[in-house]
Protein backbone atom coordinates (compact mmCIF):
# COMPACT_ATOMS: atom_id res chain seq x y z
CA UNK A 1 0.00 0.00 0.00
CA UNK A 2 1.55 3.25 -1.08
CA UNK A 3 1.34 6.25 1.14
CA UNK A 4 -0.88 9.13 0.13
CA UNK A 5 0.96 12.39 -0.28
CA UNK A 6 -2.31 14.30 -0.38
CA UNK A 7 -5.78 13.38 0.76
CA UNK A 8 -8.79 15.54 0.00
CA UNK A 9 -12.05 14.86 1.76
CA UNK A 10 -15.49 16.25 1.00
CA UNK A 11 -14.31 19.40 -0.70
CA UNK A 12 -16.99 21.87 -1.76
CA UNK A 13 -16.75 25.13 -3.62
CA UNK A 14 -19.46 27.36 -5.03
CA UNK A 15 -19.38 30.65 -6.90
CA UNK A 16 -22.64 32.30 -5.99
CA UNK A 17 -25.43 29.86 -6.77
CA UNK A 18 -23.14 27.88 -9.04
CA UNK A 19 -21.79 24.80 -7.28
CA UNK A 20 -18.46 23.96 -8.89
CA UNK A 21 -17.13 21.26 -6.57
CA UNK A 22 -19.51 19.00 -4.74
CA UNK A 23 -18.01 16.66 -2.19
CA UNK A 24 -14.71 15.83 -3.86
CA UNK A 25 -12.69 12.99 -2.32
CA UNK A 26 -9.29 12.52 -3.86
CA UNK A 27 -6.04 10.72 -2.97
CA UNK A 28 -2.68 11.38 -4.55
CA UNK A 29 -0.36 8.48 -3.73
CA UNK A 30 3.35 9.25 -3.47
CA UNK A 31 5.39 7.84 -6.35
CA UNK A 32 2.45 7.57 -8.70
CA UNK A 33 1.11 9.49 -11.62
CA UNK A 34 -2.59 10.18 -11.21
CA UNK A 35 -4.33 11.41 -14.33
CA UNK A 36 -7.25 13.77 -13.93
CA UNK A 37 -9.72 13.97 -16.82
CA UNK A 38 -12.74 16.19 -17.16
CA UNK A 39 -14.50 18.22 -19.82
CA UNK A 40 -14.53 22.02 -19.73
CA UNK A 41 -16.42 23.23 -16.72
CA UNK A 42 -16.13 19.94 -14.86
CA UNK A 43 -14.32 21.71 -12.03
CA UNK A 44 -10.73 20.60 -12.67
CA UNK A 45 -9.21 24.03 -12.68
CA UNK A 46 -11.05 25.09 -9.53
CA UNK A 47 -9.77 21.97 -7.80
CA UNK A 48 -6.22 22.75 -8.87
CA UNK A 49 -6.57 26.37 -7.79
CA UNK A 50 -7.61 25.27 -4.32
CA UNK A 51 -4.71 22.84 -4.11
CA UNK A 52 -2.18 25.48 -5.04
CA UNK A 53 -3.58 28.20 -2.82
CA UNK A 54 -5.16 30.51 -5.41
CA UNK A 55 -8.65 29.98 -4.06
CA UNK A 56 -10.02 28.68 -0.78
CA UNK A 57 -12.52 25.83 -0.49
CA UNK A 58 -15.89 26.49 1.10
CA UNK A 59 -15.85 23.18 2.93
CA UNK A 60 -13.66 20.09 3.18
CA UNK A 61 -10.22 19.12 4.39
CA UNK A 62 -6.85 18.51 2.82
CA UNK A 63 -4.15 16.41 4.47
CA UNK A 64 -0.61 16.80 3.19
CA UNK A 65 1.54 13.92 4.49
CA UNK A 66 -1.04 13.48 7.24
CA UNK A 67 -0.87 17.14 8.29
CA UNK A 68 -3.70 19.63 7.87
CA UNK A 69 -3.09 21.67 4.78
CA UNK A 70 -4.95 24.86 3.87
CA UNK A 71 -2.75 27.21 1.84
CA UNK A 72 -3.98 30.78 1.80
CA UNK A 73 -1.57 31.97 -0.90
CA UNK A 74 0.24 30.33 -3.82
CA UNK A 75 3.45 30.98 -1.94
CA UNK A 76 2.23 28.97 1.05
CA UNK A 77 1.42 26.05 -1.27
CA UNK A 78 4.88 26.29 -2.77
CA UNK A 79 6.52 26.22 0.66
CA UNK A 80 4.43 23.22 1.60
CA UNK A 81 5.79 21.40 -1.45
CA UNK A 82 2.95 21.65 -3.93
CA UNK A 83 4.14 22.88 -7.28
CA UNK A 84 2.02 23.62 -10.33
CA UNK A 85 3.04 23.88 -13.98
CA UNK A 86 0.30 25.69 -15.83
CA UNK A 87 -1.03 24.89 -19.25
CA UNK A 88 0.02 28.14 -20.83
CA UNK A 89 3.78 27.76 -20.86
CA UNK A 90 4.48 31.46 -20.95
CA UNK A 91 2.68 31.88 -17.63
CA UNK A 92 5.47 29.87 -16.04
CA UNK A 93 8.43 31.85 -17.33
CA UNK A 94 9.51 35.45 -17.68
CA UNK A 95 10.38 35.57 -21.35
CA UNK A 96 12.54 38.69 -21.15
CA UNK A 97 14.91 37.28 -18.56
CA UNK A 98 17.66 34.77 -19.23
CA UNK A 99 17.50 31.11 -18.31
CA UNK A 100 19.48 31.45 -15.07
CA UNK A 101 17.33 34.28 -13.75
CA UNK A 102 14.21 32.32 -14.55
CA UNK A 103 15.44 29.26 -12.74
CA UNK A 104 16.39 31.29 -9.70
CA UNK A 105 13.36 33.59 -9.91
CA UNK A 106 11.71 32.48 -6.70
CA UNK A 107 14.88 32.93 -4.76
CA UNK A 108 15.49 36.32 -6.34
CA UNK A 109 11.93 37.34 -5.58
CA UNK A 110 12.17 36.10 -2.01
CA UNK A 111 15.10 38.49 -1.94
CA UNK A 112 18.00 38.83 0.40
CA UNK A 113 20.53 41.49 -0.28
CA UNK A 114 20.33 44.20 -2.86
CA UNK A 115 22.59 43.00 -5.63
CA UNK A 116 22.53 39.81 -7.61
CA UNK A 117 25.71 37.86 -7.94
CA UNK A 118 25.67 36.68 -11.52
CA UNK A 119 28.30 33.94 -11.43
CA UNK A 120 26.96 32.31 -8.27
CA UNK A 121 23.43 32.57 -9.60
CA UNK A 122 24.38 30.91 -12.85
CA UNK A 123 26.25 28.11 -11.12
CA UNK A 124 23.27 27.24 -8.97
CA UNK A 125 20.96 27.56 -11.94
CA UNK A 126 23.13 25.16 -13.93
CA UNK A 127 22.67 22.52 -11.25
CA UNK A 128 18.92 22.91 -11.42
CA UNK A 129 18.93 22.74 -15.22
CA UNK A 130 21.03 19.59 -15.23
CA UNK A 131 18.43 17.79 -13.13
CA UNK A 132 15.84 18.09 -15.91
CA UNK A 133 18.22 17.67 -18.84
CA UNK A 134 17.95 21.27 -19.96
CA UNK A 135 21.00 22.09 -22.06
CA UNK A 136 20.32 25.70 -23.03
CA UNK A 137 22.99 28.31 -22.19
CA UNK A 138 22.25 30.00 -18.88
CA UNK A 139 22.59 33.48 -20.32
CA UNK A 140 20.16 32.98 -23.16
CA UNK A 141 16.88 34.91 -22.90
CA UNK A 142 13.97 32.53 -22.43
CA UNK A 143 12.18 34.23 -25.33
CA UNK A 144 14.67 32.54 -27.68
CA UNK A 145 14.03 29.03 -26.36
CA UNK A 146 11.66 26.55 -27.95
CA UNK A 147 8.34 25.97 -26.23
CA UNK A 148 9.54 22.64 -24.92
CA UNK A 149 12.65 24.19 -23.41
CA UNK A 150 10.61 26.95 -21.86
CA UNK A 151 8.45 24.35 -20.26
CA UNK A 152 11.54 22.56 -18.99
CA UNK A 153 12.58 25.84 -17.44
CA UNK A 154 9.22 26.12 -15.72
CA UNK A 155 9.41 22.52 -14.54
CA UNK A 156 13.02 22.85 -13.45
CA UNK A 157 12.12 25.89 -11.45
CA UNK A 158 9.25 23.96 -9.91
CA UNK A 159 11.57 21.07 -9.06
CA UNK A 160 14.09 23.30 -7.34
CA UNK A 161 11.54 23.47 -4.53
CA UNK A 162 11.80 19.70 -3.97
CA UNK A 163 8.10 19.23 -4.47
CA UNK A 164 6.12 16.51 -2.79
CA UNK A 165 3.36 17.03 -5.26
CA UNK A 166 3.69 18.19 -8.86
CA UNK A 167 0.58 19.30 -10.72
CA UNK A 168 0.80 19.56 -14.51
CA UNK A 169 -2.08 21.08 -16.44
CA UNK A 170 -2.15 19.83 -20.05
CA UNK A 171 1.63 20.04 -20.31
CA UNK A 172 1.92 18.50 -23.77
CA UNK A 173 -0.66 20.65 -25.51
CA UNK A 174 1.97 22.67 -27.33
CA UNK A 175 4.80 20.14 -27.52
CA UNK A 176 5.95 18.01 -30.45
CA UNK A 177 6.04 14.24 -30.04
CA UNK A 178 9.77 14.11 -29.35
CA UNK A 179 9.51 16.91 -26.82
CA UNK A 180 6.62 15.17 -25.11
CA UNK A 181 8.69 11.97 -24.89
CA UNK A 182 11.44 13.89 -23.11
CA UNK A 183 8.88 15.25 -20.66
CA UNK A 184 7.52 11.75 -20.01
CA UNK A 185 10.97 10.40 -19.23
CA UNK A 186 11.47 13.23 -16.78
CA UNK A 187 8.13 12.56 -15.10
CA UNK A 188 8.90 8.87 -14.82
CA UNK A 189 12.15 9.77 -13.09
CA UNK A 190 10.27 11.94 -10.62
CA UNK A 191 7.78 9.21 -9.99
CA UNK A 192 10.62 6.86 -9.15
CA UNK A 193 11.87 9.44 -6.64
CA UNK A 194 8.52 9.34 -4.84
CA UNK A 195 6.90 12.52 -6.10
CA UNK A 196 3.11 12.39 -6.34
CA UNK A 197 2.12 13.69 -9.75
CA UNK A 198 -1.29 14.97 -10.75
CA UNK A 199 -1.42 15.02 -14.53
CA UNK A 200 -4.33 16.78 -16.20
CA UNK A 201 -4.79 15.84 -19.82
CA UNK A 202 -7.18 14.76 -22.53
CA UNK A 203 -4.58 13.21 -24.75
CA UNK A 204 -5.19 9.50 -24.64
CA UNK A 205 -1.67 8.70 -25.82
CA UNK A 206 -0.17 10.63 -22.90
CA UNK A 207 -2.55 9.01 -20.51
CA UNK A 208 -1.75 5.50 -21.71
CA UNK A 209 1.92 6.15 -21.41
CA UNK A 210 1.90 7.65 -17.94
CA UNK A 211 -1.18 6.89 -15.88
CA UNK A 212 -0.96 4.71 -12.79
CA UNK A 213 -4.54 5.61 -12.06
CA UNK A 214 -7.22 7.79 -13.64
CA UNK A 215 -9.72 10.05 -11.96
CA UNK A 216 -12.63 11.50 -13.92
CA UNK A 217 -14.52 14.62 -13.01
CA UNK A 218 -17.90 15.64 -14.25
CA UNK A 219 -20.16 18.44 -13.01
CA UNK A 220 -18.11 18.99 -9.89
CA UNK A 221 -17.96 15.40 -8.65
CA UNK A 222 -15.51 12.57 -9.13
CA UNK A 223 -17.45 10.49 -11.62
CA UNK A 224 -14.99 7.67 -11.99
CA UNK A 225 -11.84 6.30 -10.39
CA UNK A 226 -9.73 3.72 -12.19
CA UNK A 227 -6.82 2.10 -10.40
CA UNK A 228 -6.82 -1.53 -11.56
CA UNK A 229 -4.44 -2.48 -14.33
CA UNK A 230 -5.00 -2.68 -17.16
CA UNK A 231 -6.70 0.68 -16.91
CA UNK A 232 -10.11 0.90 -18.54
CA UNK A 233 -9.50 3.87 -20.84
CA UNK A 234 -12.88 3.93 -22.57
CA UNK A 235 -14.55 3.51 -19.21
CA UNK A 236 -12.68 6.62 -18.11
CA UNK A 237 -13.85 8.62 -21.10
CA UNK A 238 -17.39 7.47 -20.45
CA UNK A 239 -17.14 8.55 -16.83
CA UNK A 240 -15.78 11.90 -17.91
CA UNK A 241 -18.36 12.63 -20.57
CA UNK A 242 -21.20 10.83 -18.86
CA UNK A 243 -24.25 9.55 -20.52
CA UNK A 244 -27.83 9.62 -19.39
CA UNK A 245 -30.65 8.52 -21.60
CA UNK A 246 -31.80 11.59 -23.45
CA UNK A 247 -35.42 12.62 -23.52
CA UNK A 248 -35.13 14.15 -26.95
CA UNK A 249 -36.55 12.28 -29.92
CA UNK A 250 -34.75 12.87 -33.14
CA UNK A 251 -36.63 12.42 -36.38
CA UNK A 252 -34.08 12.47 -39.15
CA UNK A 253 -35.40 14.65 -41.99
CA UNK A 254 -35.05 13.92 -45.72
CA UNK A 255 -31.57 14.83 -46.84
CA UNK A 256 -31.34 17.78 -49.27
CA UNK A 257 -28.66 18.64 -51.79
CA UNK A 258 -25.02 18.65 -50.71
CA UNK A 259 -24.07 22.03 -49.25
CA UNK A 260 -20.51 21.66 -48.04
CA UNK A 261 -18.09 19.18 -49.53
CA UNK A 262 -14.69 18.68 -47.95
CA UNK A 263 -12.29 16.44 -49.75
CA UNK A 264 -8.82 15.32 -48.70
CA UNK A 265 -8.88 18.01 -46.08
CA UNK A 266 -5.86 18.02 -43.81
CA UNK A 267 -6.16 20.17 -40.68
CA UNK A 268 -2.66 19.63 -39.32
CA UNK A 269 0.59 18.73 -41.01
CA UNK A 270 0.69 15.32 -39.27
CA UNK A 271 -3.01 14.47 -39.37
CA UNK A 272 -4.73 12.14 -41.82
CA UNK A 273 -6.74 13.81 -44.62
CA UNK A 274 -10.49 13.22 -44.54
CA UNK A 275 -13.67 13.80 -46.53
CA UNK A 276 -16.96 15.12 -45.23
CA UNK A 277 -20.15 16.17 -46.97
CA UNK A 278 -22.89 18.12 -45.24
CA UNK A 279 -26.35 18.14 -46.79
CA UNK A 280 -29.18 20.62 -46.61
CA UNK A 281 -31.75 20.04 -43.84
CA UNK A 282 -29.47 17.91 -41.68
CA UNK A 283 -27.80 18.66 -38.38
CA UNK A 284 -24.41 17.00 -38.05
CA UNK A 285 -22.60 16.78 -34.74
CA UNK A 286 -18.83 16.46 -34.57
CA UNK A 287 -17.81 14.88 -31.28
CA UNK A 288 -14.27 15.06 -29.99
CA UNK A 289 -12.18 15.79 -26.94
CA UNK A 290 -10.32 19.01 -26.32
CA UNK A 291 -7.41 19.09 -28.75
CA UNK A 292 -9.00 16.60 -31.15
CA UNK A 293 -9.08 19.17 -33.95
CA UNK A 294 -12.70 20.22 -33.48
CA UNK A 295 -11.82 23.86 -33.02
CA UNK A 296 -9.46 23.72 -35.99
CA UNK A 297 -12.20 22.32 -38.19
CA UNK A 298 -14.59 25.09 -37.14
CA UNK A 299 -11.96 27.77 -37.65
CA UNK A 300 -11.04 26.42 -41.07
CA UNK A 301 -14.63 26.45 -42.26
CA UNK A 302 -15.09 29.99 -40.94
CA UNK A 303 -11.98 31.52 -42.48
CA UNK A 304 -10.09 31.94 -39.20
CA UNK A 305 -7.57 29.19 -40.06
CA UNK A 306 -6.36 27.76 -43.36
CA UNK A 307 -6.32 24.01 -44.06
CA UNK A 308 -2.90 22.45 -44.66
CA UNK A 309 -4.22 20.88 -47.85
CA UNK A 310 -7.42 19.69 -49.50
CA UNK A 311 -10.39 21.41 -51.04
CA UNK A 312 -13.64 22.82 -49.77
CA UNK A 313 -16.70 23.43 -51.89
CA UNK A 314 -19.86 25.26 -50.93
CA UNK A 315 -22.92 24.61 -53.07
CA UNK A 316 -20.60 23.28 -55.73
CA UNK A 317 -18.46 26.42 -55.84
CA UNK A 318 -14.92 26.49 -54.57
CA UNK A 319 -14.83 27.84 -51.02
CA UNK A 320 -11.68 29.18 -49.35
CA UNK A 321 -12.59 32.01 -46.95
CA UNK A 322 -9.72 34.14 -45.68
CA UNK A 323 -11.69 35.85 -42.92
CA UNK A 324 -14.97 35.49 -41.06
CA UNK A 325 -16.26 38.40 -43.15
CA UNK A 326 -15.67 36.39 -46.33
CA UNK A 327 -17.30 33.31 -44.84
CA UNK A 328 -20.34 35.37 -43.85
CA UNK A 329 -20.52 36.79 -47.36
CA UNK A 330 -20.94 33.19 -48.57
CA UNK A 331 -23.66 32.68 -45.94
CA UNK A 332 -21.52 30.53 -43.68
CA UNK A 333 -22.14 31.64 -40.09
CA UNK A 334 -20.49 30.51 -36.89
CA UNK A 335 -21.52 30.88 -33.28
CA UNK A 336 -18.07 30.68 -31.69
CA UNK A 337 -17.13 28.70 -28.60
CA UNK A 338 -16.29 30.44 -25.34
CA UNK A 339 -18.86 33.19 -25.69
CA UNK A 340 -17.26 35.49 -23.14
CA UNK A 341 -14.15 36.07 -25.20
CA UNK A 342 -15.40 35.25 -28.70
CA UNK A 343 -18.98 36.40 -28.93
CA UNK A 344 -20.36 38.67 -26.23
CA UNK A 345 -19.98 42.44 -26.66
CA UNK A 346 -20.08 43.28 -22.95
CA UNK A 347 -20.83 47.00 -23.41
CA UNK A 348 -23.85 46.35 -25.65
CA UNK A 349 -27.41 45.66 -24.66
CA UNK A 350 -29.24 42.50 -25.67
CA UNK A 351 -30.69 44.01 -28.85
CA UNK A 352 -27.35 45.27 -30.12
CA UNK A 353 -25.74 41.94 -29.39
CA UNK A 354 -28.41 40.32 -31.53
CA UNK A 355 -27.96 42.64 -34.50
CA UNK A 356 -24.15 42.87 -34.51
CA UNK A 357 -23.36 40.68 -37.55
CA UNK A 358 -26.12 42.11 -39.73
CA UNK A 359 -26.20 45.82 -38.95
CA UNK A 360 -26.40 46.49 -42.68
CA UNK A 361 -29.89 44.99 -42.63
CA UNK A 362 -30.98 47.67 -40.18
CA UNK A 363 -29.35 50.66 -41.76
CA UNK A 364 -30.57 52.86 -44.54
CA UNK A 365 -29.64 56.31 -45.80
CA UNK A 366 -26.01 57.22 -44.96
CA UNK A 367 -25.72 53.94 -43.06
CA UNK A 368 -27.84 55.33 -40.26
CA UNK A 369 -29.18 52.53 -38.11
CA UNK A 370 -32.93 52.30 -37.75
CA UNK A 371 -33.61 51.71 -34.08
CA UNK A 372 -37.11 50.65 -34.94
CA UNK A 373 -36.03 47.88 -37.27
CA UNK A 374 -33.44 46.80 -34.73
CA UNK A 375 -35.98 46.68 -31.95
CA UNK A 376 -38.46 44.70 -34.05
CA UNK A 377 -35.83 42.06 -34.75
CA UNK A 378 -34.55 41.81 -31.19
CA UNK A 379 -38.04 41.54 -29.73
CA UNK A 380 -38.83 38.77 -32.21
CA UNK A 381 -35.54 36.95 -31.53
CA UNK A 382 -35.97 37.25 -27.77
CA UNK A 383 -39.32 35.49 -27.98
CA UNK A 384 -38.17 32.94 -30.58
CA UNK A 385 -35.08 31.97 -28.62
CA UNK A 386 -36.91 32.16 -25.31
CA UNK A 387 -34.47 34.63 -23.73
CA UNK A 388 -35.58 35.48 -20.22
CA UNK A 389 -35.18 39.24 -19.80
CA UNK A 390 -37.13 42.37 -19.01
CA UNK A 391 -36.37 44.24 -22.20
CA UNK A 392 -34.16 44.16 -25.27
CA UNK A 393 -32.40 47.21 -23.85
CA UNK A 394 -31.06 45.33 -20.80
CA UNK A 395 -27.28 44.92 -20.62
CA UNK A 396 -26.18 41.57 -22.04
CA UNK A 397 -24.24 40.82 -18.87
CA UNK A 398 -27.41 41.03 -16.78
CA UNK A 399 -28.45 37.70 -18.33
CA UNK A 400 -27.58 34.25 -17.03
CA UNK A 401 -25.06 32.20 -19.00
CA UNK A 402 -27.76 30.16 -20.70
CA UNK A 403 -29.67 33.23 -21.80
CA UNK A 404 -26.51 34.95 -23.03
CA UNK A 405 -25.82 31.87 -25.09
CA UNK A 406 -29.33 32.03 -26.58
CA UNK A 407 -28.54 35.53 -27.77
CA UNK A 408 -25.19 34.42 -29.22
CA UNK A 409 -26.80 31.57 -31.15
CA UNK A 410 -29.89 33.60 -32.05
CA UNK A 411 -27.66 36.30 -33.53
CA UNK A 412 -26.90 33.93 -36.41
CA UNK A 413 -30.44 32.70 -36.83
CA UNK A 414 -31.75 36.11 -37.86
CA UNK A 415 -30.57 35.52 -41.42
CA UNK A 416 -30.83 32.47 -43.63
CA UNK A 417 -27.57 30.56 -43.65
CA UNK A 418 -26.24 28.01 -46.11
CA UNK A 419 -24.07 26.52 -43.38
CA UNK A 420 -24.45 27.28 -39.70
CA UNK A 421 -21.57 26.21 -37.49
CA UNK A 422 -22.12 26.04 -33.75
CA UNK A 423 -18.90 25.49 -31.84
CA UNK A 424 -19.68 24.22 -28.33
CA UNK A 425 -23.07 25.95 -28.23
CA UNK A 426 -23.94 24.30 -24.92
CA UNK A 427 -20.83 25.36 -23.05
CA UNK A 428 -21.65 26.72 -19.62
CA UNK A 429 -25.42 26.61 -20.01
CA UNK A 430 -27.90 24.81 -17.80
CA UNK A 431 -29.82 21.78 -18.99
CA UNK A 432 -33.03 23.68 -19.75
CA UNK A 433 -31.27 26.32 -21.84
CA UNK A 434 -29.42 23.51 -23.60
CA UNK A 435 -32.70 21.83 -24.54
CA UNK A 436 -34.18 25.17 -25.70
CA UNK A 437 -31.16 25.98 -27.85
CA UNK A 438 -31.06 22.46 -29.28
CA UNK A 439 -34.75 22.64 -30.16
CA UNK A 440 -34.26 26.00 -31.92
CA UNK A 441 -31.31 24.67 -33.89
CA UNK A 442 -33.38 21.74 -35.10
CA UNK A 443 -36.59 23.69 -35.70
CA UNK A 444 -34.85 26.03 -38.14
CA UNK A 445 -32.56 23.59 -39.85
CA UNK A 446 -34.58 23.18 -43.04
CA UNK A 447 -32.78 24.43 -46.12
CA UNK A 448 -29.35 24.83 -44.61
CA UNK A 449 -26.62 22.52 -43.40
CA UNK A 450 -25.89 22.69 -39.68
CA UNK A 451 -22.65 21.60 -38.03
CA UNK A 452 -22.52 21.35 -34.24
CA UNK A 453 -19.18 20.72 -32.55
CA UNK A 454 -19.38 19.29 -29.04
CA UNK A 455 -17.29 17.44 -26.47
CA UNK A 456 -20.13 15.68 -24.71
CA UNK A 457 -21.82 12.85 -26.54
CA UNK A 458 -25.13 13.57 -24.81
CA UNK A 459 -25.30 16.92 -26.49
CA UNK A 460 -24.70 15.34 -29.87
CA UNK A 461 -27.39 12.72 -29.25
CA UNK A 462 -29.87 15.46 -28.37
CA UNK A 463 -29.37 17.64 -31.38
CA UNK A 464 -27.90 15.76 -34.33
CA UNK A 465 -29.18 13.71 -37.24
CA UNK A 466 -25.72 12.36 -37.85
CA UNK A 467 -22.77 11.97 -35.51
CA UNK A 468 -19.16 12.20 -36.63
CA UNK A 469 -16.24 11.46 -34.34
CA UNK A 470 -13.07 13.53 -34.63
CA UNK A 471 -9.74 12.51 -33.15
CA UNK A 472 -6.14 13.61 -33.76
CA UNK A 473 -7.25 16.14 -36.36
CA UNK A 474 -9.11 13.68 -38.53
CA UNK A 475 -12.60 12.19 -38.76
CA UNK A 476 -12.95 8.62 -37.52
CA UNK A 477 -16.51 7.55 -38.04
CA UNK A 478 -19.82 8.78 -39.29
CA UNK A 479 -23.20 7.31 -38.37
CA UNK A 480 -26.85 8.36 -38.32
CA UNK A 481 -28.26 9.20 -34.91
CA UNK A 482 -30.50 6.19 -34.43
CA UNK A 483 -29.88 3.18 -32.23
CA UNK A 484 -26.44 4.46 -31.46
CA UNK A 485 -24.01 2.15 -29.74
CA UNK A 486 -22.79 4.58 -27.13
CA UNK A 487 -19.92 2.39 -25.98
CA UNK A 488 -18.38 2.14 -29.42
CA UNK A 489 -18.56 5.91 -29.96
CA UNK A 490 -16.96 6.45 -26.57
CA UNK A 491 -14.17 4.10 -27.54
CA UNK A 492 -13.57 6.07 -30.73
CA UNK A 493 -13.63 9.39 -28.93
CA UNK A 494 -11.08 7.97 -26.54
CA UNK A 495 -9.05 6.63 -29.46
CA UNK A 496 -8.63 3.21 -27.89
CA UNK A 497 -8.63 0.37 -30.39
CA UNK A 498 -6.71 -2.42 -28.61
CA UNK A 499 -3.91 -2.66 -31.16
CA UNK A 500 -2.99 0.94 -30.56
CA UNK A 501 -2.52 0.20 -26.87
CA UNK A 502 -0.24 -2.77 -27.38
CA UNK A 503 1.74 -0.95 -30.03
CA UNK A 504 2.48 1.95 -27.69
CA UNK A 505 3.30 -0.32 -24.79
CA UNK A 506 5.67 -2.25 -26.97
CA UNK A 507 7.45 0.92 -28.04
Partner 1 sequence: MSVQTRLIDLAVKFGFLLLMAGLLVFFSISAPGFLSPHSAVFVFQSVAITGILALGVTATLVVGGFDLSIGAVATSALMLSAYVMVVWELSAGVAIALCLLMGAGVGLVNGLLIVKARVPDLLATLGMMFLLIGLQRIPTEGRSISTGMTLPDGTVARGTFSEFFLMLGRHRIDFFIERLIPLSVIFLLVVALLVWVFLEFTRHGRLMYAIGSNAQAAQLAGVKVERYKIMAYMISGTLASFGGVLLAARLGRGDVASGTNLLLDAVAAALIGFAVLGAGKPNAFGTAIGALFVGVLLQGMTMMNAPYYTQDFIKGAVLVVALVFTFAFTARGSRGA
Stretch that binds partner 1, among 174-182, 218-226, 361-369, 452-460 (CB under 8 A): 361-369
Question: Near partner 1 by CB under 8 A, which window of 125-133, 162-170, 205-213, 367-375?
Answer: 367-375
Of 369 and 500, the one with the shorter C-beta distance to partner 1 is: 369
- Closer residue to partner 1 in complex, CB, 185/398: 398
350 is a contact residue toward partner 1 (CB under 8 A): no
Scored b (16 or more CB within 10 A) or e, 260-292 reads bbbeebbbeeebebbebebbbbbbbbbbbbebb
Kindly state the smallest distance separating residue 294's Cβ from partner 1, in Å. 16
Of 125 and 414, nearer to partner 1 (C-beta) is: 414
User: Contact between 359 and partner 1 (CB under 8 A)?
Assistant: yes
Among 343, 429, 449, 454, binds partner 1 (CB under 8 A): 343
In whole angstroms, the minimum distance from the beta carbon of 423 to partner 1 comes to: 10
CB 450 within 8 A of CB 271: no
Q: Does 363 bind partner 1 (CB under 8 A)?
A: yes
In the complex, minimum distance from the CB of residue 397 to partner 1, in angstroms, rounded to a whole number? 7
Residues 13/57, Cβ–Cβ less than 8 Å: yes
Interface pick for partner 1 out of 78, 196, 280, 344 (rule CB under 8 A): 344
CA distance 53 to 332: 45
Least distance to partner 1, CB of residue 448, Å: 17
Q: Tell the smallest beta-carbon distance from residue 33 to partner 1 (Å).
A: 36
Measured between alpha carbons, how far is 196 from 33 in angstroms, rounded to an integer? 6
> Which residues have C-beta within 8 Å of that of residue 284, sequence separation ≥ 6?
278, 449, 450, 451, 452, 464, 465, 466, 467, 468
Q: How far is the CB of 375 from partner 1 (least distance, A)?
A: 14
Inter-residue contact 392 to 379 (CB < 8 Å): yes
Q: Counting contacts by CB under 8 A, is residue 320 touching partner 1?
A: no
Q: Report DSSP state, residue 468.
A: E
Asked if 302 interacts with partner 1 (CB under 8 A), we say: yes
Asked whether the beta carbons of 45 and 36 are under 8 A apart, the reply is: no
The single residue among 157, 218, 362, 476 that binds partner 1, judged by CB under 8 A, is 362
What mask, x for binding partner 1 by CB under 8 A, covers residues 392 to 411?
A: ---x-xx------------x
Tally Cβ neighbours within 10 Å of residue 482.
10
Q: CB-based burial of residue 309 (10 Å sphere; 0-12 exposed, 13-18 middle, 19+ buried)? A: exposed
- List helix spans (H) across 139-271: 147-159, 177-192, 204-210, 233-241
Stretch in the footprint of partner 1 (CB under 8 A) among 63-71, 169-177, 323-331, 384-392: 323-331
Give me the torsion for CA of 200, 206, 212, 215, rounded to 10°.
40
Judged by beta carbon, residue 227 or residue 363, the one nearer partner 1 is 363
Rule CB under 8 A: say whether 360 interacts with partner 1: yes
Residue 428: name the closest of 355, 344, 351 by CA.
Answer: 344
Least Å distance, CB 201 to partner 1, is 27
Site for partner 1 in 277-296 (CB under 8 A): none
Question: Minimum distance from CB of 399 to partner 1 (Å)?
Answer: 10
How far apart CA 22 and CA 24 sit, in angstroms, is 6
Instruction: Return the range that interacts with partner 1 (CB under 8 A); candidates 194-202, 344-352, 435-443, 498-506.
Output: 344-352
Full strand arrangement of the beta sheet holding 309-314? 274-279, 258-266, 309-314, 317-318
Integer angstrom CA distances of residue 345 from 27, 54, 328, 355:
42, 29, 19, 11
CB-count burial class (<10 Å; 0-12, 13-18, 19+) for 167:
buried
Does residue 16 bind partner 1 (CB under 8 A)?
A: no
**Residue nearer to partner 1 on the CB measure, 225 or 363:** 363
Query: How many residues lie near partner 1 (CB under 8 A)?
Result: 32
Q: Which CB sits closer to partner 1, 367 or 499?
A: 367
Spatial separation of the C-alpha atoms in residues 292 and 51, rounded to whole Å: 28
For 118, other C-beta atoms within 10 Å of its C-beta total: 13
Q: Give yes or no for residue 345 binding partner 1 (CB under 8 A).
A: yes
Q: Which pairing describes strands 317-318 and 309-314: parallel, antiparallel, or unpaired?
A: antiparallel
Q: Which stretch binds partner 1 (CB under 8 A): 144-152, 287-295, 321-329, 434-442?
A: 321-329
| Contacting range for partner 1; rule: CB under 8 A; set: 163-171, 253-261, 390-398, 478-486 | 390-398
For the chain, how many residues are written?
Answer: 507
Give the span between the Cα atoms of 134 and 160, in whole angstroms: 13
Does 346 bind partner 1 (CB under 8 A)? Our answer is yes
Which residue from 328, 461, 467, 469 is in contact with partner 1, where contact means CB under 8 A? 328
Residue 66 or 395: the one with the smaller Cβ distance to partner 1 is 395
Q: Which residue of 11, 24, 301, 336 would you call a contact of partner 1, by CB under 8 A? A: 336
State which residue, 172 or 403, has the beta carbon closest to partner 1. Answer: 403
The footprint of partner 1 (CB under 8 A) covers 302, 304, 323-325, 327-328, 334, 336, 341-348, 352, 356-357, 359-360, 362-363, 366-369, 395, 397-398, 411
Amino acid sequence: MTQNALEIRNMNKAFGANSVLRGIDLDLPAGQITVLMGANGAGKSTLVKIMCGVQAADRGTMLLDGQDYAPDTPHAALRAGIVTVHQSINDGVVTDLDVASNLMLDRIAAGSGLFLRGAKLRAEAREIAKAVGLVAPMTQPVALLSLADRQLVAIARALSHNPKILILDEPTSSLSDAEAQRLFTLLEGLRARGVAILYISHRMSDIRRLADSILCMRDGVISGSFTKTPLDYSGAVRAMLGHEMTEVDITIPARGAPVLELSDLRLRAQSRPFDLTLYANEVVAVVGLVGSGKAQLANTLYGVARPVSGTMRLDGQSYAPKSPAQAIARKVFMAARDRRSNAVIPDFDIGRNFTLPFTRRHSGFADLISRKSEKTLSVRMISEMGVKCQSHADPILSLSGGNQQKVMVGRWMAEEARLLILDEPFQGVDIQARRDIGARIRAQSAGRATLVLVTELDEALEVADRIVVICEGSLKSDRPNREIDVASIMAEVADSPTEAVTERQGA
